[in-house]
Amino acid sequence: MICISGESLFGSKLTTDARPLRSWADRGKLDVVMPVSAADNPTLSERYETYSAEVKATRYSSVDDLIAEADAGKEYLLAKANTVTEHNLLCMWRAVILQNYCIVQNYFPNSEGGLSDFAPALVYQNTGKYSYYQMYLEMSHIIKTRSSSISS
């Protein structure tokens, strides 16, 4: 999976309501690619810049709030023995890669300034080596080989 913070997908130790990948995270079954937690990380800084004034006023008053959310997700994943790889690239998509399907949402453009949860979602089936599923799987592998895994 490729994501920024995982708050909507698996949450953190502070999360009390349901998340679609929470049970997998609790069992240590997730392999997650996330941005390095720094204000100069291209994914974090560019995503923060796309938020509307309302989102910045109510959820992320600074890029540090987005970084803290990502750190909480990483901490939770690592405490449950999941795999986390950090990258320092501009990553445009949230991608959840399952056994035969891939669910993708674009982070950019964010013309409405909203949270990524409301971006259109595309679902790709693994139909073979020339499918979009395979493209996102390979993209994940490329990011992981050019980045570093972290552990608790």
SS3 assignment, position 25: helix
Evaluate whether residue 1 is within a structural domain.
Answer: no
Task: Please give the pLDDT value at position 108.
Answer: 82
Total H helices, total E strands in the chain: 5, 6
Band of pLDDT at residue 86, cut at 50, 70 and 90:
very high
Most confident of 61-65, 86-90, 106-110: 61-65
Band of pLDDT at residue 151, cut at 50, 70 and 90:
low
How far is residue 39's CA from residue 42's CA, in Å, rounded to a whole number? 8
Evaluate whether residue 6 is within a structural domain.
Answer: no
> In sequence order, which residues have a C-beta less than 8 Å from that of residue 100 and are 6 or more positions away?
125, 126, 133
> In sequence order, which residues have a C-beta less than 8 Å from that of residue 34 and are 6 or more positions away?
2, 3, 4, 5, 6, 70, 73, 74, 84, 85, 86, 87
H helical segments located in the chain = 22-26, 42-50, 53-58, 63-79, 132-145
Average pLDDT for residues 22-51, to the nearest whole number? 96
Evaluate whether residue 8 is within a structural domain.
Answer: no
Evaluate whether residue 54 is within a structural domain.
Answer: yes
Q: How many folded domains does the chain comprise?
A: 1
Average pLDDT for residues 37-65, to the nearest whole number? 96
Band of pLDDT at residue 79, cut at 50, 70 and 90:
very high
For tokens 């909203």, the residue is 114
Evaluate whether residue 59 is within a structural domain.
Answer: yes
SS3 assignment, position 79: helix
Evaluate whether residue 66 is within a structural domain.
Answer: yes
Evaluate whether residue 16 is within a structural domain.
Answer: no
The domain of 78 spans: 22-150
Evaluate whether residue 80 is within a structural domain.
Answer: yes
Segment 96-112, tens digit of pLDDT = 999 999 999 988 888 88
